[in-house]
């Protein structure tokens, strides 16, 4: 397995858009597959946020995750976020998400990010608790109960 930037594997953009639309598209008012695809074009970066890291095996896309800005509008002061963590169903349970998240933490540190935030529907923190993220608060956001977590980085 290899971790690469979406910008280096742009042929994966349609797959990632489909995953994101199928998983979270219902949460945004008026969200369409075309809008999700269009929005992902802003993630075609390597050295600045927003960006996406992919887990790949040859031509197969296994998973993806994002570094992004201000994911939750109720927290305008929280700037840098981890989001869009997704692993294709046939590859789950193989620590792929952990590897992508760890890679993104390293990238965030290299970009001088001091704190990274995320929201998860797993209200006990799941994978993120295991990786050292700290819970901040549980909120209902767009009709979904989520746990907001923070990871302070050593920059």
CATH number of the structural domain spanning residue 75: 3.40.630.30
d(CA 139, CA 115): 19
pLDDT in tens, 113-149: 999 999 999 999 999 999 999 999 999 998 899 999 9
37 has a pLDDT exceeding 80: yes
pLDDT of residue 142: 87
- For a pLDDT cut of 90, what percent of the chain falls above it? 91
Helix (H) or strand (E) holding 66: strand 60-69
Domain that holds residue 27: 2-152
Residues 6+ apart with CB under 8 A from 90: none
Helix (H, G, I), strand (E, B) or coil at 141: strand
| Residue 130: Cβ-neighbour burial (10 angstroms; 0-12, 13-18, 19+) | exposed
Query: What pTM was estimated for this model as a whole?
Result: 0.94
Helix (H) or strand (E) holding 2: strand 2-5
pLDDT of residue 28: 76
What's the number of domains the chain is made of?
1
- Residues 56 and 71: beta-carbon distance below 8 Å: no
d(CA 25, CA 4): 25
Average pLDDT over every residue of 15-44: 91
């Amino acid at each position: 397995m290899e971790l690469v930037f979406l910008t280096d594997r742009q042929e994966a953009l349609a797959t990632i858009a489909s995953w994101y639309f199928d998983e979270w598209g219902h949460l945004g008012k008026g969200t369409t597959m075309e809008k999700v695809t269009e929005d992902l074009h802003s993630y075609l970066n390597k050295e600045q946020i927003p960006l996406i890291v992919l887990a790949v095996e040859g031509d197969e896309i296994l998973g993806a995750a994002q570094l992004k800005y201000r994911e939750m509008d109720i927290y305008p002061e929280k700037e840098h976020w981890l989001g869009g963590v997704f692993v294709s169903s046939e590859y789950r349970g193989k620590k792929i998400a952990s590897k992508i998240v760890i890679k993104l933490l390293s990238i965030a540190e290299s970009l001088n990010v001091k704190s990274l935030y995320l929201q998860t529907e797993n209200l006990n923190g799941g994978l993120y608790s295991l990786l050292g993220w700290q819970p901040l608060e549980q909120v209902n956001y767009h009709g979904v109960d989520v746990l907001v977590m923070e990871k302070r980085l050593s920059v």
